[in-house]
Amino acid sequence: MKNVYVIGVGLIGGSMALDIKSIHPKLSVFGIDSNSNHLDEALALKVIDAKATYEDLKQADFVILSIPVDAAVIELPKVLDLISDTCLVIDVGSTKMDICKVVERHPKRRNFLAAHPISGTEFSGPKAAIHNLYKNKTNIICEVEKTAFKLQEKALKLFGEMGMRIRYMNPEAHDKHIAYVSHLSHISSFMLGKTVIEKEKNERDIFDMAGSGFESTVRLAKSSPEMWTPIFKQNKANVLEVLDDYIANLTKFKEYIHADDFEAIYNEMKNTNHIKDILNGIN
């Protein structure tokens, strides 16, 4: 593997580029991005070695598609049209059903691997890219059986070198589970931030009185709307289902407070404390 092309040199693609350059310093990493300023930043920060265009993809050994999921559905078939028979293309988006469906009959479907590294921060752009973002993180692989075996091996070797754990899942299961543990978290954070901004008109009071609990809970509200709006659109059915359950729990909590049933509130919180055991087990 000599030439790696990253399409979308922001946090996710840029961080992957940094790790690849660190692990394989003799590789050349090229950046493709619709935002020319992002390419300039990525080059200046040495996230990439050079700029490129789609015309250069015929020279690629490995392509990372790291763009918003609505754009990925459009661009992935174009990318597969341009690559060589020995090149591997992966995407790293947060939804998998639409991306897998759009290429299910593509002549080069075997050259594509659907992946979702469960990692990130609330920041975006090339300046947000960091080393070791993926270390000890889970990477969900979908429809691995549809990717050529030798290309699977290439990807899994690289993921292992980056320190990622691998889980296999079908696209439908992926999108359902990720709605529970990721997409709902972002909606909750955005709406918490919105509520506080609307209720607390004095921004200085928010700054002065916001403790670490508020800061950590609302952190995801700093995330890019350009990235997250298409995710909610593509995963609409699963997001609506989990929102119904979440709203029902909030409503029940409100009813307990209204009825002065603080024993029920205690029990709700006590039972939910089990989440720390689950997360400790993962870590």
| CA-closest candidate to residue 93, choices 181, 175, 148 | 175
Which of 132, 154, 169 is the last residue in one of the domains?
A: 169
Average pLDDT, the chain: 93
Which of 169, 204, 236 is the last residue in one of the domains?
A: 169
Q: Are both 161 and 26 inside the same structural domain?
A: yes
Q: Are both 160 and 236 inside the same structural domain?
A: no
Q: Are both 88 and 157 inside the same structural domain?
A: yes
Q: Are both 108 and 194 inside the same structural domain?
A: no
Q: Are both 67 and 187 inside the same structural domain?
A: no
The pLDDT assigned to 123 comes to 87
Query: What's the pTM value of the predicted model, to 2 decimals?
Result: 0.87
Question: Residue 147 region, left (φ>0) first, then alpha (ψ -120 to 50), else beta?
Answer: beta
CATH number of 126's domain: 3.40.50.720
The pLDDT assigned to 205 comes to 64
The CA-to-CA distance between both ends of the chain, in Å, stands at 33
* 8 has pLDDT over 70: yes
Mapping DSSP onto H, E and C, the string for the chain reads CCEEEEECCCHHHHHHHHHHHHHCCCCEEEEECCCHHHHHHHHHCCCCCEECCHHHHHHCCEEEECCCHHHHHHHHHHHHHHCCCCCEEEECCCCCHHHHHHCCCCCCHHHEEEEEECCCCCCCCHHHCCCCCCCCCEEEEECHHHCCHHHHHHHHHHHHHCCCEEEEECHHHHHHHHHHHHHHHHHHHHHHHHHHHHHCCCHHHHHHHCCHHHHHHHHHHHCCHHHHHHHHHHCHHHHHHHHHHHHHHHHHHHHHHHCCCHHHHHHHHHHHCHHHHHHHHHC
Q: Taking residues 74-84, report their average pLDDT.
A: 98
Q: Taking residues 4-28, report their average pLDDT.
A: 96
Q: Are both 182 and 102 inside the same structural domain?
A: no
Q: Are both 245 and 209 inside the same structural domain?
A: yes
Q: Are both 260 and 223 inside the same structural domain?
A: yes
Q: Are both 85 and 71 inside the same structural domain?
A: yes
Round to whole Å and give the CA distance between 77 and 70.
Answer: 13
* 1 has pLDDT over 90: no
217 versus 212: which is more confidently predicted?
Answer: 217
The pLDDT assigned to 213 comes to 73
Percent of the chain scoring above 70 in pLDDT? 95
Which of 169, 189, 205 is the last residue in one of the domains?
A: 169
pLDDT band at 78 (very low <50, low <70, confident <90, very high): very high
The pLDDT assigned to 241 comes to 96
CATH number of 209's domain: 1.10.3660.10
Structural domains of the chain, count: 2
Range of the domain at 259: 174-282
- pLDDT tens for 240-249 read 999 999 999 9
Q: Are both 254 and 147 inside the same structural domain?
A: no
Q: Are both 184 and 155 inside the same structural domain?
A: no
Beta bridge partner(s), residue 7:
32, 65
Q: Are both 233 and 277 inside the same structural domain?
A: yes
